[in-house]
Amino acid sequence: MSQLPRIARLAVIALIAGSLAACGPTAPKGVDKEKLDEAVSKAIGDPASCLLIAERASGRLVYRYNNQIACDRELPACDAQGGRTIDQLLAATRKDGQARQLSCYSTADASRGVGWASGVLPEKGLVYAAMMEGDRSFPGRMMAERLNNAFTKVGLK
């Protein structure tokens, strides 16, 4: 059996993946993505953390820190029964403009925690939501402070 069909399939998969990556969020207008990545990494960098930044008016996602797997998890909401996703936190912040800084345990034995932080970046017409989960996660208030410093460094504030 010829390898050409397999190679052709792999080429198509690579082309699709590249196209999807090119269409994904990069960075807010006027902000250097590498500098933003570095600032966010220093602020809340962890394999289990996620940050989303979106346009407040349209909801269009303009930046994501970390991969879809890290960002799609449902974790304890900390301010209500049940769980939430970072997308839900971003949507709530976009809708009401209220900052949130939440923390709680993410496991029954209290060995892991989750921190949530969200807010508005009015100077740029943006909103953000961040999540960090693990055995060394920061509380939501600390995440918000660290992210605000990172945003200032890259010109988002």
pLDDT at 15: 38
115 burial type by CB count under 10 A (0-12 exposed, 13-18 middle, 19+ buried): buried
pLDDT at 11: 40
Q: For residue 84, give the nearest of 73, 97, 99 by alpha carbon.
A: 73
pLDDT at 157: 86
pLDDT at 104: 98
pLDDT at 8: 45
- Domain 26-154 CATH superfamily: DD-peptidase/beta-lactamase superfamily (3.40.710.10)
Helical axes 33-44 vs 140-154, angle rounded to 10°: 150
Beta pairing, strands 49-55 & 61-65:
antiparallel
CB count, 10 Å around CB of 101?
A: 18
Quote the radius of gyration of the chain (alpha carbons, Å). 18
Q: Could you tell me the residue ranges of all domains in the chain?
A: 26-154
pLDDT tens string, the chain, 157 residues long: the values are: 445 554 444 444 433 333 334 456 889 999 999 999 999 999 999 999 999 999 999 999 999 999 999 999 999 999 999 999 999 999 999 999 999 999 999 999 999 999 999 999 999 999 999 999 999 999 999 999 999 999 999 999 8
pTM of the complete model = 0.83
